[in-house]
Structure 1
């Protein structure tokens, strides 16, 4: 034995501290000369205690990555007679030494294939391993010297599918465990024969880092000392057929920038500054307040900006235009940018394309401090088939339905979640809560709800199986959506959930405990996108004015069902891509008429019952379709372009629409009550006129008149409520500052006359501008 080995055997803690150098990753390196590989004897010529290697079956399973309980073999284990066996698996190591708390070093026997073992009578609680690789010695606590780091309550809730903060139990969780800092790695993989964690900390070789199975829960766990913030990792799954697959963590809170797809250990350091916003949010009654949404694709709003750079520009822009909320197209990680985020692989990680999770928190914080609410698109309907993500995660259908016909989404080439499996339902419900609690999100717009609700969605006869009652309803999806909405509303008061649901499903925004005619409870959403209004109204305004009288009902039909749900009126990204043209380009006529038609349509939309949403670029009459490759044509607003009367005028109108909207309770207090609306002229098809009253909670009215013909109509008489007040114009979309002709701008208050009209004893006579909407209220 070398003299160095002799010094090591007798070295005390003080000498250890002087000899061992702390590396940046928290491990220790021995700066003394390397020892011989074959430790046959101890110092002073004493014979080493006999090794205690693992048995051949344990050895085989550990090397193959199929051992369900590596902690039972590796680590320290008591032996008969008061001795303790220490075993470790360290491939590529030339030597391994166990350092007991009293400073003594016990050289382990090389048992071959990376296994090392020894026996000792010394106390070993809290021992460390000094592992020599060529000329480098790294010292760390033994991962197999720790008790499970997941609590029994966590495991019980996971098995029941009721862990509402699942991200605290699964994934990579930096922590201090039994007095040692490191990261706990946990993953749900019930079909796996074995699981290892690989990453930069073990040179992407997981042989020495198998996880243990925590019984029937299907959860695998390992605490790895010394691993912390910023480490890259994946799980190596040994599948039922014995093959292996490297998988990103389904619960990863941070990822690499695509196309790279490793998960990253992360800890939030963000200090929130939106306390006032969060307190106020819990006191709001959203249905009786202004709610005007600006939809944004973050990556292309201003291409090239990071989350933090967006925080410097987006809040100010949205606040200036008067929108109350932004809706962000999906921010969860996705491998293909052209999917716009609707094919998610990292459900718990904001996309790394624009920065870190804390950078995204900074953006949300900045929006809140500017008084802007934040909604995000949430996609629980499906996920892509990438072989490093969720698809057949542990070798068998797990997150997707086990029936291939139920699993395959017929439209998008993706996989549908198995909502009937409690752990999958838990994964999604907890994910909804996660975004609201961890990122202070104010609302979730749930994508593609219709595709979830119907078993026969986009499927022909014979391609689907009826439910237990013989119907086409996906009862598992119904139960999931009800649970998600109930859980989010209970845990995070003030948050709104919004359904993109394109059918006549009964009770989308009805409370979950209220049963409808179909025998099912309501889905529990706060709002529903009114896809029917969107489709019909865009169909109407896209027609030449001379033909509009034949399609008048397309603008009035929405009021037949306006109070069947709590509606939001969406002009979203879906309506301005893939050959559908931008909003202004849908309008017929020359450039002046197109802009006038757009302004009139926006005035109609803002006055119609329901909340409203407008996609970026449409607020300034973007002429080209949206493309995620370059975003809106901001140059159209450059003063040198001479766009004041063209594009800047439309943007000024949107600003004034939001300002007038917020100042007029009649436009939002009774959005979802029939008492908040009354037709004045709903049948003026020959004139292309739509006139209606909106009423505030105190009964005060606002009159909206939309004229979709390119002519001036003078002396147009409309019935109004009785009263002595004159009516004044609140907003006229034909104003010159908006690029209009200015018809009616100079008109003073309009005195009501005792002339019966439209079933009312009093009326006013006004001049209708061409292709314009005018709002009036009693002076």
Structure 2
């Protein structure tokens, strides 16, 4: 028995409940450092528990009981009366353990982690917190926290068999308690680890997990009801990409629920997309090196305060997208890396398990429990926080084994190819599961290669995403705009090539945070010329973007023609709005959004060739483009862009129907900072064929500007 007690005290016993607690009339409790201990029976009788061995107190009770309390006194301290962790049966059921073992527990966050609860049949004063963690290679696991002075000696956990789950219920621990898991690895070393399933964490640089209870009452019923049956690729989506910490530095989730919601509403965006919100220790990673996948970053408030922000956006008719990072995670010793002394979450082969560019670890997508951890995490954000879609980061790094690796530094798959078959299967499983449970959300891939079928349904051989970032459009368009106008005629294909493949996937057109950092210059400063020309180029580009098939995404600061590159420390330079060029671009973006949402021609057939016709895509000498957009409702809009600083008066454009056409947008208006070059607000279509259309009209195409016209209804 002494040897077994030693194993319990040393934290090496797989089932401390078989030794501690009440067995018949024999009671054993582990209270290291206590000077005396008693058991308090239901009738108030107190029975002394003599010290037996290394902090274990034990006695035979005078009678069998169903309930009892432990009264313990430490030196120079008052007596503490507590329920006993080791009198309770496991709080995880067989179904939970079976699903975890199968890698199919779609609500994993309800089974693992910390949960305030009271075991079945326990009295009210026995309420506490259930702790559960997956650590299959561990020799022992303890709970440590502020409730036990960060010493796990008194709280060894029990192993729940082949599932690899360790569990313990600790009475008296409630909302706000700090904790970690102390894990004895297969290598014989103890590690203090944050809970991978923690739903709340300390503010960095502190690293403890926090027991949390949500009492948020959702008020977005109308939004959630109207979302049902919606197909995102056939709906308006104009996205404002936001880094929460630097939009207006110093704001909390609650502050953002007022200020950000008000601003996005005024600007007319349909959605916001947050750079990763999940817990991350290093500000400079912008959230892309995640250590706490189930916890919103505490930098701006509690999980319920983040729910409050989402709720407020929904009530304002604004959707919420999150950047989500299943491609890699950092090597911080207190987090997922080497979790139980083995390569648990990461792939054990460094050729697949380490990312050479980012200094991070790569998930083992072939391990069912790891896939379950990630799939359930996606569901967690969508279902617990009412998120409307996830933008999955760095998909290309997941699906190619040779991504950023030199020859010889990667291992081919079983068929000799470069595709990571396990990661591809994971992505298919992810999208299938997400859309089965949440058919109205948007799963969006940031995939930078020509991999085919990213937005093709899984049942048709694709990865099953709903939308994909169009990195080709982004790159080509920005390269075109960087050229001096006199040279653009030699690069006209850059601005038109996207329509060659526009319907190969369901696209989002991104001008994202990645394009305004690391020496790439801001959007405003990419174009050549003086201040007026740079602002005009940006207005023309944004007008072209909003009229191009695909959804739009613009990173914060772009809408005010921010001059410097984005800094996550300094934030958006709102003071620029005192200058006409910057205020004008902001007014243009607002006008684009105001024109966009009510006009189905600009979004309802984004993924259907019937929604777009080139009027003239070949005017390389004039640096102009013109095209027709059609809507599912029969609506039409013609758009023309002049990427030359030379105005085009009496410029003829083809029109599909006769009658009066009204100007919807002119990016050269003085209110946008434009030159105000005289341009008609209405034109009459004449029966003169042009651009392949039966009718046409003469319009003015302003310098470095865009105009939109629609038929009068």
TM-score of the superposed pair, with normalisation by structure 2:
0.98
What SS does structure 2 have at the residue aligned with 1:177?
Answer: coil
Q: Which residue of 2 aligns with 1:444?
A: 390
* 1:387-435 deviation line (CA, Å, top 9, x unaligned): 0000010001000001122101121000000000000000000000000
1:769 matches 2:709: no
1:542 to 464, 475, 482: 482
Tell me, in whole angstroms, the C-alpha distance in 2 between the residues paired with 1:617 and 1:209.
51
CA contact (8 A) 1:200 1:232 kept: yes
Q: Which residue of 1 aligns with 2:239?
A: 293
CA contact (8 A) 1:100 1:125 kept: no
Tell me, in whole angstroms, the C-alpha distance in 2 between the residues paired with 1:162 and 1:68.
25
What SS does structure 2 have at the residue aligned with 1:323?
Answer: coil
Q: Which residue of 1 aligns with 2:361?
A: 415
Tell me, in whole angstroms, the C-alpha distance in 1 between the residues paired with 2:350 and 2:647.
61
1:209 matches 2:149: no
* 1:435-455 deviation line (CA, Å, top 9, x unaligned): 011111111000000000111
1:603 matches 2:543: yes
What SS does structure 2 have at the residue aligned with 1:203?
Answer: coil
Tell me, in whole angstroms, the C-alpha distance in 1 between the residues paired with 2:62 and 2:206.
48
Shift of 1:778: 1.5
What SS does structure 1 have at the residue aligned with 2:313?
Answer: helix
Once the two structures are overlaid, the 10-residue window that deviates more, 455-464 or 86-95, is 455-464
CA contact (8 A) 2:639 2:707 kept: yes
Tell me, in whole angstroms, the C-alpha distance in 2 between the residues paired with 1:719 and 1:299.
47
Runs of 4+ in 1 over 4 A off after TM superposition: none
What SS does structure 2 have at the residue aligned with 1:425?
Answer: helix
Q: How does 1:575-724 map to 2 (within 5 A)?
A: 575-637=515-577, 641=578, 643=579, 645-721=580-656, 723-724=657-658
CA contact (8 A) 1:190 1:394 kept: yes
Once the two structures are overlaid, the 10-residue window that deviates more, 400-409 or 258-267, is 400-409
Tell me, in whole angstroms, the C-alpha distance in 1 between the residues paired with 2:179 and 2:240.
37
* 1:654-686 deviation line (CA, Å, top 9, x unaligned): 111001111221111100000000001110000
CA contact (8 A) 2:5 2:53 kept: no
Q: Which residue of 2 aligns with 1:461?
A: 407
Tell me, in whole angstroms, the C-alpha distance in 1 between the residues paired with 2:602 and 2:187.
62
Q: Which residue of 2 aligns with 1:108?
A: 49
Tell me, in whole angstroms, the C-alpha distance in 2 between the residues paired with 1:266 and 1:195.
21
* 1:483-532 deviation line (CA, Å, top 9, x unaligned): 11111111123111100000111111111111xxxxxx211111000000
Q: Decide which structure has the larger Cα Rg and report it.
A: 1
Tell me, in whole angstroms, the C-alpha distance in 1 between the residues paired with 2:159 and 2:430.
29
TM-score of the superposed pair, with normalisation by structure 1:
0.90
1:127 to 54, 68, 75: 68
CA contact (8 A) 2:660 2:711 kept: yes
RMSD between superposed Cα atoms in Å: 1.0
Q: How does 1:452-531 map to 2 (within 5 A)?
A: 452-514=398-460, 521-531=461-471
* 1:311-356 deviation line (CA, Å, top 9, x unaligned): 1111110010100000000000001000000000000000011111
Shift of 1:465: 1.4
Once the two structures are overlaid, the 10-residue window that deviates more, 110-119 or 681-690, is 110-119
Q: How does 1:268-347 map to 2 (within 5 A)?
A: 268-347=214-293
What SS does structure 1 have at the residue aligned with 2:289?
Answer: coil
* 1:262-319 deviation line (CA, Å, top 9, x unaligned): 0000000111111111111113222221110000000111100111011111111001
Shift of 1:748: 4.2
Tell me, in whole angstroms, the C-alpha distance in 2 between the residues paired with 1:302 and 1:748.
38
Tell me, in whole angstroms, the C-alpha distance in 2 between the residues paired with 1:597 and 1:444.
31
Q: How does 1:163-242 map to 2 (within 5 A)?
A: 163-178=105-120, 179=122, 180-242=126-188
Tell me, in whole angstroms, the C-alpha distance in 1 between the residues paired with 2:277 and 2:694.
55
**Structure 1 residues 231 and 698, CA gap change in structure 2 (3 angstroms):** closer
Shift of 1:725: 1.2
Tell me, in whole angstroms, the C-alpha distance in 2 between the residues paired with 1:648 and 1:185.
53
Aligned residues: 707
* 1:143-172 deviation line (CA, Å, top 9, x unaligned): 000100101110000000000000000000
Q: Which residue of 2 aligns with 1:737?
A: 671
CA contact (8 A) 2:112 2:197 kept: yes
| Structure 1 residues not aligned, in runs of 5+ | 1-54, 79-83, 515-520
CA contact (8 A) 1:704 1:776 kept: yes
